[in-house]
Chain A
């Protein structure tokens, strides 16, 4: 668990993990998107893979890096209660926002109507 946290304590590594949340990528793909040098990216990927957060898969001629579900789950399990609070909070915020949007829409509609 500590290896996981210290692996993520480095901002560049955290950024790599955030990026790989969206899709697996090659070293070059990661370097390009994060404007980092390839050797630097490789070094970070080594730390992340030792911490069990990242795994590599050969695709054609390339080595594609993706997140390792088990490693992340370990992190996640620890945060389950905290996540429950925030995810509930945000779901309720979705409801409020939905209402605000429809209010705005009807307001716009009525102003348009007024103008006519």
Chain B
């Protein structure tokens, strides 16, 4: 559903094992590319807000490895890793994605950038290795997703009170 919110993130389940996301950014493609390949910038947006994200490796070239950790305030951390399969500057990144505590459950994310009138459309194709993996991924966000929303609500309320 095309909602009126500014993000206008569209997510579609293309098949039992594949999800498709599209999102437009108010910036030219070279900047979006930079935000996706520069470790210092990546650490600022890739993880959920309540975590600190540490980029251990982000070697954006075919065969290069990446590893990122989301670190909670209590020190608990979630590590993710993968390998760049394809990198076409300003156009496309294909990488594998794996949550370290669940080795072998590897998904492939294909990120494509298209620029139009100074804005950039990002498409993410998220291909899972099985239907169970897709469902597991979607459900794993359940708790964190809900918590995130409550935190946002808290922020909003705090803002309204000042």
Contact = CB atoms under 8 A, between A and B. Distances in A.
Interface of A: 5, 8-9, 11, 14, 17-18, 21-22, 67, 69, 72-73, 75-76, 78-98, 100-101, 104
Interface of B: 1-2, 7, 9-16, 19-23, 25-27, 31-32, 34-35, 41, 44-49, 122, 124, 137-146, 148-149
A85 B7 contact: no
Contacts of A100: 27, 31, 34-35, 41
B9 A97 contact: no
11 contacts: A18-B22, A67-B2, A72-B1, A78-B138, A83-B145, A84-B146, A85-B141, A88-B148, A92-B49, A95-B45, A97-B31
Given A81-B145, A85-B145, A101-B31, A75 B139 contact: no
Given A81-B139, A81-B142, A100-B34, A75 B13 contact: yes
Given A18-B12, A100-B35, 14 more contacts: A9-B14, A14-B14, A18-B10, A81-B145, A82-B138, A84-B141, A86-B23, A87-B9, A88-B48, A89-B47, A90-B7, A92-B44, A92-B49, A100-B31
Contacts of A96: 35, 41, 44-45
Nearest 9 CB-CB pairings of A with B: A84-B145, A81-B145, A81-B141, A92-B45, A97-B27, A93-B45, A72-B1, A21-B2, A81-B142
